[in-house]
Structure 1
Amino acid sequence: MTTNILPARGRPRRFDPDEAVVTAQQLFHAKGYDGVSIADLTKALGINPPSFYAAFGSKAQLYARILDRYALGGAVPLVQILGADRPLADSLAQILEQAARSYAADPTATGCMVLEGTRCNDPEAREAACGFHVAAQEVIRNSIAERSPLEADRLTDFISTTMAGLSASARHGQSLDRLVSTARLASVALAQVLPA
């Protein structure tokens, strides 16, 4: 959907909210939620603050919209990986390795946008990110519980903690090789707890 936003002077500008979400996602991923101001967003989107608020409501509402988009195409595809017909330890290992690769894929936007958002200062944005994080943990936990119910809580915590560590390490500049090495080391522990 494309709408016309009238600038203070001149001709109407073409403004595509879906393209704006892509641009804003790049900013949030690169700088983190707290590091992006309304001024940063309006400059990057080429609109003024009233137009921004008319299109998105607030910075936190835009962020929630971006999280929806991220969950569909940028996050680790948990359901697909866990739904594959293979040993659970292999699926969990693939999640960790794919997370490591994903978190380091773009040197200007490292880490997991959801995990990074769970630590932001805005309560509304933090709540949105935490909602996605809890939902992802539930997907992992439920999959583990189907095959190894006694290990579900412990292994979900292990996977979640490892992913958070991978995200933080990527954010701090750790190389892809080191992140993948960490994911593979964690996979050794998974294989010991969940023998094939």
Structure 2
Amino acid sequence: MTTQIARRRGRPRRFDPDEGVAIAQRLFLAQGYDAVGVADLTEALGINPPSFYAAYGSKAELFKRTLNRYSETDGVPLMEILQPGRPAAEALSEVLKDAAKKYTANSGSGGCLAIEGTKCNDMDARTAALILTSAARNTIYRFIAATHPDVAELMADYMVTVMSGLSAAARQGYGSARVIQIAALAATALTGKLTDQQAENF
């Protein structure tokens, strides 16, 4: 004779969509958008696929939310650094230094989520990343144009190119000190260019 013992059901863990965005951000940053599947996300979030789609709509929509969170919590604070009236070379150098630090802050998951997102295969996700990076470039351009209009286009392109390179270096596993040194070297070049331009205007 056997006796069946009914298992007590535990109360289901409440799922917090905002907490899920933070978890997804870490996954996307560590592995890259394309390498993270819905199965990986549902496992990390502790929910089933129907609950995932009900909460976020799609993987791309979740990525958009992670980009928004990333820009608010972990991205380079351009608006804080690029204050009107601040010397351009000083402010732009700080942007590069801050980028180098942030891109290498997490071992094994380096780089910029937005910049790396512009390389993914999913059109919706890539577009969302491009919108964010374009907005950042426009912010940098407007700041430079206020004092150095003749080179604003070139210097904005330079900043975006350097930041993309810093992100790539971090993704490849370059250490923080190494990436910061690269940023410092790039800052020296932009300082020289802005100084030469200022001298030409006198």
TM-score w.r.t. the length of structure 1 is 0.92
Instruction: Look up the match of 1:64.
Output: 64
List 4+ stretches of structure 1 deviating above 2 A: 9-13
Q: Which runs of 5+ in 2 are unaligned?
A: 1-8
Instruction: Look up the match of 1:23.
Output: 23
Question: Counterparts of 1:99-178 in structure 2 under 5 Å?
Answer: 99-178=99-178
Local SS of the residue matching 2:14:
strand
Q: Is the 8 A contact 1:21 1:66 kept in 2?
A: yes
Partner letter of residue 182 of structure 2?
T
Alignment partners' CA distance in 2, 1:108 and 1:65: 22
Q: Is the 8 A contact 2:108 2:173 kept in 1?
A: no
Q: Is the 8 A contact 2:84 2:143 kept in 1?
A: no
Alignment partners' CA distance in 1, 2:106 and 2:81: 22
Instruction: Look up the match of 1:192.
Output: 192
Cα deviations across residues 98-135 of structure 1 (Å, max 9, x unaligned)?
10110000013200000000000100000000000000
Q: Is the 8 A contact 1:120 1:126 kept in 2?
A: yes
Q: Is the 8 A contact 2:104 2:175 kept in 1?
A: yes
Local SS of the residue matching 2:136:
helix
Cα deviations across residues 136-162 of structure 1 (Å, max 9, x unaligned)?
000000100111000111000110000
Alignment partners' CA distance in 2, 1:84 and 1:103: 25
Larger Rg belongs to: 2
Q: Is the 8 A contact 1:84 1:91 kept in 2?
A: no
Partner letter of residue 143 of structure 2?
S
Q: Which deviates more from structure 2 when the two are superposed, residues 80-89 or residues 54-63?
A: 80-89
How many correspondences in the alignment? 188
Percent of residue pairs identical: 51
Alignment partners' CA distance in 2, 1:178 and 1:108: 15
Q: Which runs of 5+ in 1 are unaligned?
A: 1-8
Using the TM superposition, give the Cα deviation of residue 10 of structure 1 relative to its aligned residue in structure 2, in angstroms. 6.6
Q: Is the 8 A contact 1:33 1:120 kept in 2?
A: yes
Alignment partners' CA distance in 2, 1:89 and 1:77: 16
Cα deviations across residues 49-104 of structure 1 (Å, max 9, x unaligned)?
00000000000000001111111111000111011653100100000011011000
Cα deviations across residues 11-60 of structure 1 (Å, max 9, x unaligned)?
43311111111111110111110111000000000000000000000000
Instruction: Look up the match of 2:5.
Output: none
Partner letter of residue 151 of structure 2?
E
Partner letter of residue 132 of structure 2?
F
Q: Is the 8 A contact 1:99 1:163 kept in 2?
A: yes
Local SS of the residue matching 1:147:
coil
TM-score w.r.t. the length of structure 2 is 0.90
